[in-house]
């Protein structure tokens, strides 16, 4: 059974076609382009011949309504939205009110735990950065949310008079002293990236100090930059949310 899987985030929308545990025909489009050109900019890129559509949406209820109508008509099938629950797929949510958790975090945790079947620290480095810790028994220990590197840089630019906007983030370097920028743009780029990396490494050490040996699972737009900067191994899963959606669907069959 072919499934169209959609990860609708704040900055971009990703999709892929999933079947038999595999994801292929992936793509993405920025939310800015959708706002400029409408959802037709998306549907012209999507396949039609699928049996079902599953969405993780954190782009708001209004966007979800429009997306369901347009994509449902395009594919000729119902559009289903993932929901956060107290427990499911081997994980128990630590939130007393699970629906207050962003669904992308829940779906990413489902994918990570389904793959690892062991303790993991799930890091989604997008517009915002989320970190969620899961122990070996599938207990969600809680999480953290902080601004992503680009959002931090934007805040610095908009809230100060002498720090310019950064048009392009500096590439991560294996040279330790490269973190010290020799102009303001590089200093901001390195500082914001290292703020995120430091949060991930501190979270990992906190788990270690509690005798929890966790695998780090990275996803999101800044994952590749973080991967080369971390002082410990990590697994890069660019399509983690799509994998979680597919697992949810196929586990229910």
Give the closest residue to 253 by CA, choosing from 55, 24, 52.
Answer: 52
End-to-end Cα, the chain, rounded Å: 10
Residue 124 annotated as catalytic: no
Residues paired with residue 15 on neighbouring β-strands, in sequence order = 6, 27
Give the closest residue to 123 by CA, choosing from 234, 207, 42.
Answer: 234
Half-sphere exposure (Cβ direction) of 130: Cα atoms closer than 13 Å: 20
Residues paired with residue 80 on neighbouring β-strands, in sequence order = 54
Q: Which of 104, 124, 132, 222 is catalytic?
A: 104
- Torsion angles phi and psi, residue 10, rounded to 5: -75, -35
Give the closest residue to 7 by CA, choosing from 149, 121, 92, 126.
Answer: 126
How far is it, in rounded angstroms, from Cα 45 to Cα 193?
A: 32
Record the tokens describing residue 239, joined without a space: 């399509």
**Which residue numbers are catalytic?**
104
């Amino acid at each position: 059974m072919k499934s169209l899987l959609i990860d609708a985030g704040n900055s971009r929308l990703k999709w892929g076609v999933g079947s038999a545990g595999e994801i292929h025909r992936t793509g993405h489009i920025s939310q800015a382009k959708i706002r400029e050109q409408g959802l037709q900019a998306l549907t012209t890129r999507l396949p039609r011949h699928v049996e079902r559509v599953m969405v993780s949406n954190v782009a708001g209820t209004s966007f979800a309504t429009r997306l369901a109508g347009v994509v449902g008509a395009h594919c000729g099938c119902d559009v289903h939205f993932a929901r956060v629950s107290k427990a499911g797929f081997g994980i128990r949510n630590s939130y007393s009110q699970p629906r207050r958790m962003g669904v992308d975090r829940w779906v990413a945790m489902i994918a990570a735990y389904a793959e690892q079947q062991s303790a993991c620290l799930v890091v989604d480095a997008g517009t915002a950065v989320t970190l969620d810790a899961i122990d070996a028994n599938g207990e969600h220990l809680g999480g953290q949310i902080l601004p992503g590197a680009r959002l931090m840089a934007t805040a610095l630019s908009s809230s100060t008079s002498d720090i310019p906007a950064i048009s392009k983030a500096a590439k991560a370097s294996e040279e330790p002293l490269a973190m010290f920028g020799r102009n303001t743009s590089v200093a901001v780029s390195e500082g914001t990236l290292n703020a995120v990396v430091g949060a991930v490494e501190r979270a990992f050490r906190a788990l270690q100090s509690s005798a929890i040996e966790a695998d780090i699972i990275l996803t999101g737009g800044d994952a590749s930059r973080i991967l080369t900067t971390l002082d410990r191994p990590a697994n890069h899963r660019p399509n983690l949310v799509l994998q979680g959606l597919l697992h949810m669907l196929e586990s229910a069959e």
